[in-house]
């Protein structure tokens, strides 16, 4: 049978610090939960009972106790990594812009009227024919004219003929 996992001895100052973290509740939830589990372990509660009170797994409770024994209070506070990249100051952005601009690019004017977004690269024959917006169009601008069904009794052009064969 394995030996019961024990929390290292904590003195009165550390105990007061744990209680202050738990009572304050204004910091990180992660810090609060970790401090709660450490305080319960300091009061002599075993890992299965801590897991039940803290609504977590026994493995998580063991990890909290082991990490606190190894690193102390510095481990209670989460050290997030990754996430959103840092924001650049105006001076940093100007410096980046200087280094990223290819030579001669500052002199060339940008003509956005003939951009590919507006379909300037498509010939008139390739452009779809549009009809003006109609009531009930829900603000979608133009509609593309669809080909008429082959049979007038097939109003939706799906092959289902109303009124039989």
Nearest to 11 by CA among 32, 33, 42: 42
How far is it, in rounded angstroms, from Cα 106 to Cα 94?
14
Q: Which residues pair with 144 in a beta bridge?
A: 130
Tokens (6 digits) for 20: 């202050």
Rounded CA-CA distance 31/68 in Å is: 12
pTM for the whole structure: 0.48
pLDDT tens-digit map of 126-149: 555 555 555 555 555 555 555 555
Range 26-47 average pLDDT:
91
Task: Write out pLDDT tens, residues 57-66.
Answer: 999 999 999 9
The pLDDT value given to residue 5: 85
Q: What tokens were used for 44?
A: 């002599």
């Amino acid at each position: 049978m394995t030996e019961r996992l024990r929390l290292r001895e904590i003195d009165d100052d550390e105990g007061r610090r744990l209680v202050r973290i738990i009572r304050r509740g204004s910091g990180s939830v992660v810090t609060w939960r970790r401090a709660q589990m450490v305080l319960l372990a300091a009061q002599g509660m075993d890992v299965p009972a801590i897991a039940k009170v803290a609504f977590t797994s026994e493995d998580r409770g063991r990890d909290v106790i082991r990490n606190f024994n190894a690193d102390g209070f510095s481990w209670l506070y989460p050290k997030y990594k990754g996430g959103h990249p840092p924001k650049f100051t105006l001076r940093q952005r100007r410096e980046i812009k200087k280094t990223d601009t290819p030579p001669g690019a500052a002199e060339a004017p940008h003509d956005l009227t003939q951009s590919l977004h507006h379909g300037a690269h498509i010939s008139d024959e390739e452009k779809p024919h549009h009809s003006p917006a109609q009531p009930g169009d829900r603000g979608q601008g133009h509609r593309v004219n669809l080909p008429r069904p082959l049979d007038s009794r097939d109003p939706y052009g799906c092959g289902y003929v109303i009124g039989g064969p």
